[in-house]
A and B are shown apart, each in its own frame.
Chain A
Amino acid sequence: MSGAIRVEDLHVVRGGAVVLPGLSCEIAAGSVTGLLGPSGGGKSTLLRAIVGVQKVAGGRIEVLGDPAGSPQLRARVGYMTQAPSVYGDLTIVENLRFFARVLAAAPGAAERAIAHVSLTGYEGHVVSRLSGGQRARVSLAAALLGDPDLLVLDEPTVGLDPALRRDLWELFHGLAEQGKTLLVSSHVMDEADRCDSLLLLREGQLLAAATPAELRARTGAERLDDAFLRLIDEAAS
């Protein structure tokens, strides 16, 4: 598998604080990579740098063969921000039709995206009146529009019930089987097992880049959160 994303020595400073002090990693194409770690560890900053909206102090990021943030990537990368970035005063379908028009997506793309996130039947609902989980799914649907080759999703399953989370992870793997690359952040370790490979990020440091099986073998822990804790202890000692 070739790398869809290559990050080399990425430095990010926000508000005078070093968030990422020289991070390097590679993300395989056609897979679901989980970016895990505690809140405030730099996950969102790394994702923002990959989609090209984060000011970076140094380093290089190559996305699908181009430098991160290149204009030609804008139609190929779908991005879901952590807070639902959709218009609260519009309906679900109005939101998605707007983003579909901007992306010049195929006709019917909005309806298909709505179906993917199980919101069919809610098209005419105004977003501000939806629950938090529904709003997050509208935001996810907007990222799916235009059939992007890379999906960068910042905590897409937060606040969702187990059945919906299972459905979404099935959707992610279905997309990966079609050759899409997915980078999904989460601070819930029980989602780690659903990923093909994992990046464990803590305080801006990459503690591990491995598959769940490799992580278990390396730490001897059965549960992935135990494995993560052992890695933290290792890093501290």
Chain B
Amino acid sequence: MSVRATSAVALRVLSQLRRDPRTIALIVGVPCLLETLLEQLFAGHSEIFQHVGAPLLGMFPFVTMFLVTSITMLRERTTGTLERLMTLPLGKLDLLAGYGLAFAAFAALQAAVVSAVTFGPLGLETAGPRWLVGLLAVANALLGCALGLFVSAFAQTEFQAVQFMPAFVLPQILLCGLFVSRGAMAGWLRGISDALPLTYAYDALARTASNTLDGRFALDVAVVAGCVVLALALGAATLRRRTA
């Protein structure tokens, strides 16, 4: 690992994002819009918004960063910049860590703006600390980033990469316990739910919202962290210096 190379990658990824203000506006603005819609949709049943507002806030960065990372890394692979990078004094870990740092910083910005809107004008309340929701949002961004990096190896085109979003992300959102509580799921669905990382991310957020920061919360956080490391390791394995 080299601080120089890692920071070079992180700065470069951030300047690429900065060159694309429309994407930044979408990444920050769309979750605010969705939270607002949700709040308005359940205007007569504010308990529903109170129930799902915080978990959604924490899971937006997962979806966003999954998409952004898989497309950015796919571009690196298809335009030949990855091949050039592989001939330079840059470790694979430097590349991955640079990506992770840049997207975590960006996710922090996203979480800060969406939190300000959701906790402010929309009036979301959480029993647990709000900063913890933000911190979990950044952890989920890293999870999305790591998974996006890994799946980008299996896409040849940007069309394919975009389709990995419904394939990898939507089932996790459906099965994480947000729509149907995990206790009410059929056994086999519960089994799949147990194996998906977003289940633990959701549970950690729900526990923060209800301020039940117990042993199960610690386990949730540990599983999310473990999945980030695992997905990064798998992603690193798909980065080859030599290709056919």
Question: Interface digits, A87-101 against B, CB 8 Å rule (1 contact, 0 not)?
Answer: 111100010001101
Question: What is the CA–CA distance of A101 and B241 in the complex, to the nearest angstrom?
Answer: 20
B15 touches A85 (CB 8 A): no
Secondary structure call for the B interface: helix
Is B11's CB under 8 angstroms from A98's CB?
yes
User: Are the CB atoms of A79 and B87 closer together than 8 Å?
Assistant: yes
A83 nearest in chain B by CB position: B80
Known: A90-B12, A101-B4. A55 touches B87 (CB 8 A): no
A24 within 8 A of B: no
Q: Residue on A with the closest CB to B17?
A: A89
B79/A53 in contact, CB under 8 A: no
Once the chains are docked, how many angstroms separate the CA of A75 from the CA of B80? 19
**Contact yes or no, A94 B12, CB < 8 A:** yes
Residues of B within 8 A of A126 (CB): 19
Q: Are A102 and B90 in contact (CB under 8 A)?
A: yes
Does A81 touch B at the CB level, under 8 Å?
yes
Q: How far is the CB of B185 from chain A (nearest CB, A)?
A: 43
**Distance in Å: Cβ of B9 to nearest Cβ of chain A:** 8
A71 contacts which chain B residues (CB < 8 A)? Answer: 89
Question: Complex: how many Å from CA A71 to CA B87?
Answer: 9
Judge whether A52 is part of the interface by a CB distance below 8 angstroms. yes
Q: Say yes or no for A74: interface residue by CB 8 A criterion.
A: yes
Determine the distance from Cα of A51 to Cα of B80 in the docked complex, in whole angstroms: 14
Q: With A53-B242, A98-B11 as given contacts, are A103 and B89 in contact (CB-CB < 8 Å)?
A: yes
Assess whether A218 is interfacial by the CB under 8 Å rule: no
Asked whether A54 and B243 contact (CB < 8 A) given A85-B80, A87-B12, A102-B8, the answer is: yes
Main secondary structure, interface of A, reads loop
Identify which of B5, B87, B244 contacts A51 (C-beta below 8 A): B87
Number of interface residues of B (CB under 8 A): 26
Pair A55/B12 contact, Cβ less than 8 Å? no
Q: Are A74 and B242 in contact (CB-based, < 8 A)? A: no
Interface contact A79-B84, CB-CB below 8 Å: yes
Q: How far is the CA of A48 from the CA of B104 in the complex (A)?
A: 34
B117 within 8 A of A: no
Any B CB within 8 A of the CB of A153? no
Chain A positions within 8 Å of B125 at CB level: none
Q: Does the CB pair B88–A102 fall under 8 Å?
A: yes
Is there contact, CB below 8 Å, between B241 and A52? Answer: yes
Whether A75 and B89, one on each chain, are in contact in the complex, defined by CB atoms closer than 8 angstroms, is yes
Tell me if A15 is interfacial: C-beta within 8 Å of chain B. Answer: yes
Q: Residues of A contacting B19 with CB < 8 Å? A: 89-90, 126
CA gap between A86 and B12 in the complex, in Å:
12
The 9 A-B pairs of least Cβ separation, nearest first, read A85-B80, A101-B8, A98-B12, A74-B89, A85-B84, A81-B80, A79-B87, A55-B242, A85-B81
What are 28 A-B pairs with beta-carbon distances under 8 A? A15-B244, A52-B87, A52-B241, A53-B242, A53-B243, A55-B243, A71-B89, A74-B88, A74-B89, A74-B90, A75-B88, A75-B89, A81-B80, A82-B80, A85-B79, A85-B84, A89-B19, A90-B12, A98-B8, A98-B11, A98-B12, A101-B4, A101-B5, A101-B8, A102-B9, A102-B90, A126-B19, A142-B84
